[in-house]
Structure 1
Amino acid sequence: MEQALADALNAVSDGTDARFSAAVLDTGSAASAVYGGDAYDTASIVKVDILAALLLQAQDAGRRLTAQERSYATVMIQESDNDAATALWPEIGGEEGLDAANQRLGLTETHGGRSGEWGLTQTTAADQLRLLREVFATGAADGRAVLSEPSRAYVQQLMGRIVADQAWGVSAAADGATRTWLKNGWMPRSATGLWVINSIGRVTAGGRTYLVSVLSGGHKDKDSGVALVETAARAAVSAF
């Protein structure tokens, strides 16, 4: 599958000056492949990781999320609310807390943003696929599942209810009427004015279910970045 994915995405790469990476897992066959190994700024896709860390810490403490935490989590994932992420960031212990949670989740290439800059967390497409495997329970078969079933169900619930104007990204690879679960991230870098555009999620295409992550940077604007991520997602899934 690695070569098939490379062939499909090399064709996409030839048409852009931006850079990108992708990872895909067919949940039925467990076949997976990764294209590109560079690290990227997460932008808002880190919000899934922040929620996973919060839930893991709550599990450890034997407690449920508070009403305030659930309120923050809902708007953080469904609406990509930045203030909610900023409120939860110190609650999980900032970058140190995120890194500690990610050690347990198996995200070995993800490093929390420093000085409170959660959107500058660095990650790889392969690590985002590992996070998706945890959220959607596809890691359970190999003994890796860390989040409890209720925790996974909660993250899935929120990722399945993204507001309509943010329903872009890897969802473009899904069959038209099928439900998708996703979280997107986007931001311009102040130093260059170029955009980071990322998307992670679960889609169904051709009767099969896939976990997909596409990370990218160096876009001249948001729209061109979204278009590239969607093209890459469709090409990546088609390779399977």
Structure 2
Amino acid sequence: MSIRSVSRARVLVPVGLLVAAGTAVAALQGQSGGVEGRPQMSVVADSTSSGPPTTARVTAPPTAQVTTPPAVAPTPTATPTSVVPPATAPSPTAPAGAPDAALRNAVDRAEGAVSVAVTDLGTGQSLSYGGTGHDFATASIVKLDILAALLLRTQDLGTTPTAEQRDLATTMIENSDNDSATGLWDEIGADTGLDAANARFGLTSTTAGQDGYWGLTSTTADDQLRLLRQVFTENSLLTPTSRGYVQELLDQVEEDQRWGVGAAAADGDYAVKNGWLPRDSDGLWVINSIGRVERDGHELLIAVVSDGNPTDTDGMRLVESVALAAAVAVAGT
């Protein structure tokens, strides 16, 4: 029961739709027989209960923003009161020429809402494109956030993750295991702990899911890009050891989950965490992908979030096409 995509051939096999006839799809966050409740059981590797119904097909008019930021700011000291300020808002200048048209076309194909944020770590060129004022459920991309919060907490305590925590982190990231995510969610203090960590990370538009529904954490593509900066750049509250640990796990995500932003990696070099979730209210799919890709000598951080997708396969194709178009728009190749 997993989404499968061969990164180079882009072969996609739906996930969650392969449940045997007569078997209810049960989600980590308690979706059993269509009833939403506290966490009960896990069947689909990335499913979480959708909680209160939301309107998945409402899409705000897309806007495009591109900026070349100044030189990297000094690395902040990782103390319990340290906070990474939110990234400077990009200037409202759209990319010129064909790449912008390609990105617009990719976004226009969305049947729901989609948003992308990307930055080139070499040139500093950044882009944010998609519906404004739209919050997206994270599904399992929040697992990267949970791990970052755990590492920040252990740094504050002057310790390192225990062997048990490391085991949970491995299965949570590499296999997108939901029980492992719930275990570490409790370790960081659940929604209160995640919100506190995100305030320090500078994630200004991310709110942790309530009552154990970690998959319903709401976020934006811009905030997910800020989280990726915490993992892949020196301008981070995470120590080099913590960053290296997270990067290693993202590099080893199991093969059938290596779809998404990796479509923009020309040479197949990428690290990724994906999330996928059918909503209880309408059966439409949340499909998200975040990570780092190497493209023709450019190191890019890319975050694509989407909802209102008719099927998981539709969502994966959308996310991959938007990631590729955004990468070309920023890297110019």
**Could you say whether these structures have the same fold, taking a TM-score greater than 0.5 normalized by the shorter chain as the test?**
yes
Q: Does 1:188 align with 2:282?
A: no
Kindly indicate whether residue 113 of structure 2 is the aligned counterpart of residue 19 of structure 1. yes
Partner of 2:325: 235
Output the aligned Cα RMSD. 1.2
Name the counterpart of 1:69.
165
Task: State the shift of 1:131 in Å.
Answer: 0.5
Q: Normalised by the size of structure 1, how large is the TM-score? A: 0.95
In structure 2, the residue matched to 1:58 is: 154
Is 1:133 aligned to 2:223, yes or no? no
Where in structure 2 are the equivalents of 1:36-47 lying within 5 Å?
Answer: 36=130, 37=132, 38-47=134-143
CA contact (8 A) 2:109 2:318 kept: no
SS in 2 for 1:3: coil
CA distance in 2, matches of 1:71, 1:56: 17
Please say if 1:212 is aligned against 2:299. Answer: no
The 1-side partners of 2:124 and 2:248 are apart by 23
Highest Rg: 1 or 2?
2
| Separation of aligned partners in 2, 1:16 and 1:56 | 36
In structure 1, the partner of 2:187 is: 91
How far apart are 1:207 and its partner, in Å? 1.3
Name whichever structure is richer in helix by fraction. Answer: 1
Matched, 1:30 2:124: yes
CA contact (8 A) 1:6 1:35 kept: no
Alignment of 1:173 with 2:267, yes or no, is no
Count matched residues.
Answer: 234
Does residue 1:9 correspond to 2:103, yes or no? yes
What runs of 5+ residues in structure 2 fail to find an aligned partner?
Answer: 1-65, 67-92
2:301 partner amino acid: L
Question: Which AA in structure 1 matches 2:315?
Answer: G
Deviation of 1:33 (Å)? 1.4
2:315 matched residue in structure 1: 225
CA distance in 2, matches of 1:59, 1:221: 41
Q: Report the CA distance between 1:6 and its aligned residue.
A: 5.4
Structure 1 residue runs of 4 or more that deviate by more than 3 Å after TM superposition: 5-8
- Identity score, percent: 51
Match of 2:217 in 1: 121
C-alpha deviation, 1:153, in angstroms: 0.6
For residue 11 of structure 1, what is the amino acid of its counterpart? N
SS of residue matched to 2:287: strand
**TM-score when normalising by structure 2:** 0.69
In 1, the alpha carbon distance for the partners of 2:319 and 2:290 equals 10
